[in-house]
Chains A and B, each alone.
Chain A
């Protein structure tokens, strides 16, 4: 069979799509379901964000209060001896020259994650 013959058959054999008014209705119904799921996911994300912010603010306030107490009433902590804190202090003093590297790495990673543009999704 010639190439032109097969091309003729292919051009003539275009399939016929039966008109189906329920097709778009079904699409719309599924889209509404997707919207419902999206709203629920958004609600959960919003809830998580609020919890995160509240935790952050509470941490900051408690930290500030603790600092204020330490500075205002140093006598309360004179007898306080913590080998754990001393260990941390020793570690920081010993490795202070390497501390900028992890800090820089985290900063770069965060900036990359936050500035990355979303790719065109093709599912």
Chain B
């Protein structure tokens, strides 16, 4: 894959990729973009080994998720300190009630386990199928369903509206 072909593919996939990471990073756009850049470079370096067994988009999301997990492992103490901060980049043009509800949702997302959060984000924000999520998160389909169910239960506990 040449660099131009890679850039062409990235041009179409950058928005969903950045949105996925933005949700995982609880609205921290600079951090999400940093992780997205790192994921794209990792993908570019190993693009020669992309055998096309999965879609390019799925492969890219999987790399991005791995980069995000690496980042979480490195920044675990800082992340704990930051918990409960204000969620950024909420959908604009909403009423104060909606904004409060979204803020609660993002704070709740930040409190649930990473795998549940990733499954929820991919399913509801990125409209991915269970099968695709299983490939991205490298887990069986049954485990994805379990994580989605547990994630919803946890969110229900944390959101009081």
Contacts and interface: CB of A to CB of B under 8 A. Distances in A.
A and B, one complex? Answer: yes
B82 to A, nearest CB: 17
A87 B10 CA distance: 65
- Where chain B touches its partner, the secondary structure class is helix
B91 A10 contact: no
B42 A9 contact: no
Contacts of B46: 121-123
Contacts of B6: 31
Interface residues of A, number: 30
A31 B4 CA distance: 10
B22 A17 contact: yes
Contacts of B49: 118-121
B156 A24 contact: no
Q: How large is the interface on B (under 10, 10 to 19, 20 to 34, 35 or more residues)?
A: 35 or more
B33 to A, nearest CB: 6
B63 interface: yes
B146 to A, nearest CB: 15
A15 to B, nearest CB: 5
Nearest to B63: A123
B7 interface: yes
A95 interface: no
B43 A20 contact: no
A85 B89 CA distance: 78
A18 B28 CA distance: 12
Interface of A: 1, 3, 6-7, 9-18, 20, 23-24, 26-28, 30-31, 34-35, 118-123
Task: Please list the 3 inter-chain residue pairs (A to B) with the smallest Cβ-Cβ separation, ordered nearest first.
Answer: A121-B46, A10-B124, A123-B42
Given A15-B90, A118-B49, 19 more contacts: A1-B161, A3-B156, A9-B105, A10-B105, A10-B125, A13-B90, A13-B101, A13-B105, A17-B15, A23-B18, A23-B36, A28-B3, A30-B40, A31-B7, A120-B59, A122-B59, A122-B62, A123-B66, A123-B67
